Amino acid sequence: MTGGMLDPAHAKARRRDRRVYLGAHPLLFALLAATRGRGVRRLGGTMLVHDADAYREALTRLPLDRTAAGTTGGAARAALGGDGDVLFDQEGTGHRADRRSLAGRLGSAGVEELRSLWRPLPVRWSAPPAGGGEVDVVELAREVAGRVAGALLGSDADPPALARAAARAAATSVRSHLPGPPRPGAAAAAARAAAGLRELAGAGDALSSMVAVAAVNTTVAAVPRAVAWCADAGLWEQAADAELRPRLVAELLRVTAASPVLPRVAAAAGSVGGCPVRGGDRLVLVARHAAGAHRRDPDAGDPAGPEVARLVFGAGPHACPGARLASVLLGDVLEELAPYRPVVTRARVDRRAALPGWRSLMVRAGV
Ligand code: HEM
């Protein structure tokens, strides 16, 4: 398997992974697939941005309205009950100061410290692996993400319960921010979920809550999808190899693009990929296509390279501060599972989550 172009060995992995989009957002997925032939395309007041350079340009050069409804900033603010700034929605000096404080917790020393929360990994086989035992990788991701969220919030709430509350807060807030006719009850459901998270966590300011929500939702989406791909495409040899593993991790995060679409709003006129943009235009920045997830299979022997792979974490001053944490955690999960050469036995799509992902992903030892 070389070259990175679509390879038959990956067809099964790709087919299964597509289910997470088709299960929850079939129309959006079809629209984005149908329009990706052109790097940037205008549909009324909305710009669809697929091209890597245009995507980078939109995130680094174009002034963005970070509090507009229907954007990640607007949804994050709503998810936390609107009390205080939540990073996604910030600009300038305040944003830089909060990013600096986060860099300590999520930089290399901080991640090394957080790592003790999940080592040894709480992998719970339903019976001995050799006797046909199974593991639910979603449950594993939820347990670990809940522990990380608890540490970031200074809360000792039950980790899986915290993770579920963070998932509910994100899902209800995204639903209440979807474009289209107003959904009766959606805002109230989002407010209830936000209050539920705050009550359960019992601690933490708006910033910590936002980081915890981001950590949980991305981890619970990304880790099981990456494990399923690794299993379906037979990549456990690469996962077992300490030298190849970091590249495999970057490649799996690239092709699964856990946050596949970044909804943004232009704050002022400008241009993206040579196309004029007006203030107030909606931008649908397709991280999945910018990173080439749809056309280049993951290959640790011939990776796409950091410039492209990193695009799944955004770009510019708001680029994801949790990228290192996500990569280290996925590497640890792959290392732990690799000796068993797991195969997927059952996978159910989560139709309600904020990010496309599995509701359960059962694997059993393949050796
Ligand atoms: C595979 C896992 C992850 C993916 C794909 C991902 C993706 C993203 C993306 C695309 C953005 C928006 C960047 C932009 O606007 O340019 C973002 C922002 C953010 N992410 Fe992540 N993320 C992941 C994991 C995490 C984790 C584990 C944490 C926390 C520990 C985290 C915390 C954040 C925060 C706080 C922001 C907002 C940053 C800002 O606006 O300044 N993310 N992430």
Our answer on whether the CB atom of 218 is closer than 6 Å to any ligand 1 atom is yes
pLDDT at residue number 207: 81
Question: How many angstroms does the Cα of residue 58 sit away from the middle of ligand 1?
Answer: 17
Q: What is the average pLDDT value for the chain, to the nearest integer? A: 92
Question: How many angstroms does the Cα of residue 365 sit away from the middle of ligand 1?
Answer: 32
Question: How many angstroms does the Cα of residue 90 sit away from the middle of ligand 1?
Answer: 14
Question: How many angstroms does the Cα of residue 207 sit away from the middle of ligand 1?
Answer: 13
> Which ligand 1 atom sits closest to the C-alpha of 66?
40
| Average pLDDT for 82-108 | 83
pLDDT tier at 362, thresholds 50, 70, 90 = very high
Our answer on whether the CB atom of 209 is closer than 6 Å to any ligand 1 atom is no
pLDDT at residue number 1: 40
Question: How many angstroms does the Cα of residue 319 sit away from the middle of ligand 1?
Answer: 7
Q: Where along the chain do its domains lie?
A: 8-364
Mutation probe of ligand 1 site: the residue of 100, 147, 218 with most atoms within 8 A of C-beta: 218
Q: What architecture (CATH level 2) is domain 8-364?
A: Orthogonal Bundle (1.10)
**Weakest-pLDDT range from 20-34, 266-280, 312-326:** 20-34
pLDDT at residue number 2: 43
One-letter-per-residue 3-state SS of the chain: CCCCECCHHHHHHHHHHHHHHHHHCHHHHHHHHHHCCCCEEEECCEEEECCHHHHHHHHHCCCECCCCCCCHHHHHHHHCCCCCCCCCCCCHHHHHHHHHHHHHHHCHHHHHHHHCCCCCCCCCCCCCHHHCCEEEHHHHHHHHHHHHHHHHHCCCCCHHHHHHHHHHHHHHHHHHCCCCCCCCCHHHHHHHHHHHHHHHHCCCCHHHHHHHHHHHHHHHHHHHHHHHHHHHCCCHHHHHCCCCHHHHHHHHHHHHCCCCEEEEEECCCEEECCEEECCCCEEEEEHHHHCCCCCECCCCCCCCCHHHHHHHHCCHHHCCCCHHHHHHHHHHHHHHHHHHCCEEEEEEECCCCCCCCEEEEEEECCC
